[in-house]
Structure 1
């Protein structure tokens, strides 16, 4: 792409009082300057996560805020979520975009060159953005500990970005898939729009969904569960997992009352399963998943894309909070 001089000022969204995402402020600020080890990135798409709602309303439980650069002006790049997390477990929460350091809901951002890698693929900018948090989280869940293999069975809770992206990865890897939702309409949409799961369960009409999973698997249980609910669903997840299986704890959307908290330690001991917390993933995992997506010619699922105007951004946050999306919700900036 031809070189261009960045503007002296650019738009950026900042938190006001962190009681609601409707307190976001749109500001014009000096475009970031860079040093010899940084890259000035023109943001083209941003994918929203429920974490962004949590930060905006103060319910998020984690802390908030070489001389040759291996890129050329105009290169398409992807940035890792944690700019200091290159491989292995995440050592701390101090370098995560949109938390302890400024995020990317802005026109330009200065990032360390080491946090970036070239995006030599045909994916759209929103699709690439969707891989940074959601894609890496799923890849970490399926390959960060015990690797997913053909013939394994994977259960995904809900129809949000993590579940639909995971469904795409698992099907491409030759796994059997089970998808749960409270909405038959959403399950039908997944079947028609995203290739569908091998089995679906409506947990509203089938509240003992773990028993249904055991029925589907002839009593064996599933090898992987992407646990989006948290304490409110973890007991059934342990009931549904096969001995030695992996429960990847990703979300906290269904919290149990204190008096209903399950005894996870005893349940996991009996089932001999791995209950593993997932905090997105490393740059190495992100690079691995991008290669997988490109080699398999996959299309990351973007449900809806909004513009970068103030009203559009608030509408995007509202859309995520409503929970009606199937796939990722993104914000796309102009050329």
Structure 2
């Protein structure tokens, strides 16, 4: 029987606990697809799982990562709508396909085995087929599985982003840069914050209208209000958590939306209900966003295909233990701009 290389995570060892194993290439069941993985994209969530700082359950020995792009190599006998050679991506969760988020949903790579391997079998009904005409590579498609659906949920899952709206993006990681690409295509005015002038220059090159270095402007909310003539911003992608929410509430516009996505600056912070008073005063929507559904990912794929949007991939690593560990460590360091991918081609 043919085998494949699969990476599993020994939880107690952190990122260095990623170990290669040789396992059988699975055979698809009647309603399943066997997919050859061409590219894997990393998220901050993956490093949190590897370092045991992820706030949700983790299974020891799990195959990590949720984001990949691949091609169909074998169909189960009852599968329709797919052909061998189709390029595909999965949603981040097999149980979050349509409608509102429900308690208990979690992505691949924490409890359920994820994508850090050469081949995977998935139920055909969860898989998203990629457009044939779009000139977008496997790396760029892998880069939008989690962040693309998450940002789409933030921009269109409640109060829809409109042309001319102002968007604030915190940082220059995968979620924020995905938000920059989508918001620019939608005709929004974009403000990006970062502690790195070099990264802010890259954000400008991608279309950011204004940038703020939060090291030189620690009260960055005041700068946001200055840039918006005191009106504030309509949409905020809130990546920082408790460490940044107070300033987000300060600079959000009346009836604006704050999408709570990240928890990067939660350490050492205590919840203070009083800081939420501006949300009441401004009638602001403060909305938790736990990824996006398969349906939202399908909308992302159509949008990207129509506009030929290629997601920025800042760095690519190889599919071997040394490079994969380096990729995880690179994302954990926060030095990356946009997405980081692992290439199997």
- TM over 0.5, yes or no? yes
Shift of 1:258: 4.2
Query: Which of 137, 143, 155 is the matching residue for 1:130?
Result: 143
* Aligned equivalents of 1:18, 1:93: Cα separation in 2: 24
* Aligned equivalents of 1:14, 1:82: Cα separation in 2: 19
Shift of 1:11: 0.5
Query: Which of 317, 327, 342 is the matching residue for 1:331?
Result: 342
| 2:240 is equivalent to residue 214 of structure 1 | no
Quote the residue 2:244 is aligned against. 233
- TM-score, with normalisation over the residues of structure 2? 0.90
- TM-score, with normalisation over the residues of structure 1? 0.93
Unaligned runs of 5+ in 1: 1-6
Query: Which of 35, 55, 64 is the matching residue for 2:49?
Result: 55
**Equivalenced residues, count:** 326
Quote the residue 1:113 is aligned against. 124
Residue 303 and residue 32 in structure 1: after superposition, are their counterparts in 2 closer, same or farther (change >3 A)?
same
Q: Detail structure 1 runs of 4+ shifted over 2 Å in the superposition.
A: 63-70, 92-96, 189-192, 256-267
Cα RMSD for the two superposed structures? 1.6
SS at match of 1:61: coil
Shift of 1:30: 1.1
Deviation string, structure 1 residues 39-80 (Cα, Å, up to 9, x no partner): 111111111001011111111112335933421122111111
- Contact 2:135/2:308, CA 8 A, preserved across alignment: no
SS at match of 1:131: coil
Quote the residue 1:269 is aligned against. 280
Quote the residue 1:251 is aligned against. 262
1:90-105 alignment runs, 5 A limit: 90-94=101-105, 96-105=107-116
Shift of 1:83: 1.3
SS at match of 2:212: strand
Quote the residue 1:169 is aligned against. 182
| 2:44 is equivalent to residue 31 of structure 1 | no
Query: Which of 3, 9, 15 is the matching residue for 2:3?
Result: 9
Deviation string, structure 1 residues 252-286 (Cα, Å, up to 9, x no partner): 11115345746344232122111111111111111
SS at match of 1:219: coil
* Aligned equivalents of 1:129, 1:291: Cα separation in 2: 15
Quote the residue 1:88 is aligned against. 99
